[in-house]
Amino acid sequence: MSRMSGVPAEEAIADPFPTRLAIVTDAWLPQMNGVVRTLTATVAILRRWGHDVTIISPEQFRSIPCPTYPEIRLAIALPGAVSLRLASLAPDAVHIATEGPLGLAARRYCLAARVPFTTAYHTQFPDYVARRTHLPPSWFWRYIRWFHGPAERIMVATESIRGELRGQGLNRLHHWGRGVDLDCFTPDAPVPPEFADLRRPIQLYVGRVSVEKNLEAFLCGKYPGTRVVVGDGPARAALERKFPEALFLGKRSGRELAGCYAGADVFVFPSRTDTFGLVMIEALACGTPVAAFPVPGPVDIVDERVGALSEDLDRAIAAALFSRRSDCTARGREFTWEEATRQFAAGLVPLAEELQVAA
């Protein structure tokens, strides 16, 4: 196996560790969602540590918009195109990040060539598709079991998701957490001027504005104050018409986004289908408590010190407002991309020496 060279001792990861990694993903730039943000942060750190990471993504192929989610491009690759790329790369390890067309093609190649690979369970795929199609989630769990079953390891972000996958018969699980850019997301980020005259408490949502995020559960709330939505998506126009009293700010990023978190009194996470929720730990790092439903993701991140969970979202908001912002900041700072990347690296499965020689 290749060895690392020129990596600072304090940043080096204990060998054995592959230096030539192929990541196959159906979600990549210019998209911006939790999967893409996780992968880009991880890849940047791996490259900084001296590793050779190749991304196989829809940007390298003809693609079409995903039905109901046009920001995601579904790759239309010629038969064997992904296999040829992987064979020519001869990577030390293969990670398949998503269950879409490219992930399927990579899975097919790895099984045919007897190449070990890892996968990741980034989204509650069965629940997400069930909401879109109005079909039972159990139908889609069959696909998840089939797709991830041959993986040497399936990377999961939280203990609750680990338990859910075990309940589906998937047992080769490996923890891969998430992180926050702690230089960007801080309590002293400049608050946006739009917040100056808003009625308090400011209740903030950040994320994609779409049906699977369950935004109406937030916007229908009766708790006094102002509901603010940061983000964009296919449901935005309809929700703006339906909830004219809410403030929709559109997309924000970097310190502008951090200022939205820092200026809010409570961050509200209404989704029931996320496996983690990066936005929650970003909000906490900025000192803002979290209110959410008691579902996977929030139950793994939020406790009574830094927010509240309840099936009554208004009750969760009311309770979260009593959290100390300093406790929230301390909790948010527990999540770093460096540690998450070490976890990812530890979960990779390198090719056996004889397979590398044969490649």
Q: Three-state SS for 355?
A: helix
Instruction: Assign 351 a pLDDT band (cuts: 50, 70, 90).
Output: low
Q: Domains in the chain, ordered, with CATH?
A: 9-179+338-358 (3.40.50.2000), 193-335 (3.40.50.2000)
Instruction: Assign 128 a pLDDT band (cuts: 50, 70, 90).
Output: low
Q: In 98-110, which positions are buried (b, 16+ CB within 10 angstroms) versus exposed (e)?
A: bbbbbbbbbbebb
Q: How far apart are CA 158 and CA 178, in angstroms?
A: 9
CA 37 and chain centroid, separation: 7
CA-CA-CA-CA torsion sign (318, 324, 327, 333): positive
Q: What's the Cα-to-Cα distance from 222 to each of 53, 133, 287, 290, rounded to whole Å?
A: 48, 30, 24, 17
| CB contact at 8 A, 24 and 82 | yes
Closest CA to 96 of 162, 45, 147: 147
At residue 130, the pLDDT reads: 61
Q: Which residues pair with 308 in a beta bridge?
A: 291
At residue 6, the pLDDT reads: 37
Instruction: Assign 71 a pLDDT band (cuts: 50, 70, 90).
Output: low
Q: In 138-176, which positions are buried (b, 16+ CB within 10 angstroms) versus exposed (e)?
A: eebbeebeebbeebbbbbbbbebbbebbeeeebeebbbb
At residue 7, the pLDDT reads: 38
CA terminus-to-terminus distance, the chain: 13
Q: Three-state SS for 250?
A: strand
pLDDT in tens, 258-305: 999 999 999 999 999 888 999 999 999 999 999 999 999 999 999 999
Q: Which two tokens stand for residue 107?
A: 């899975």
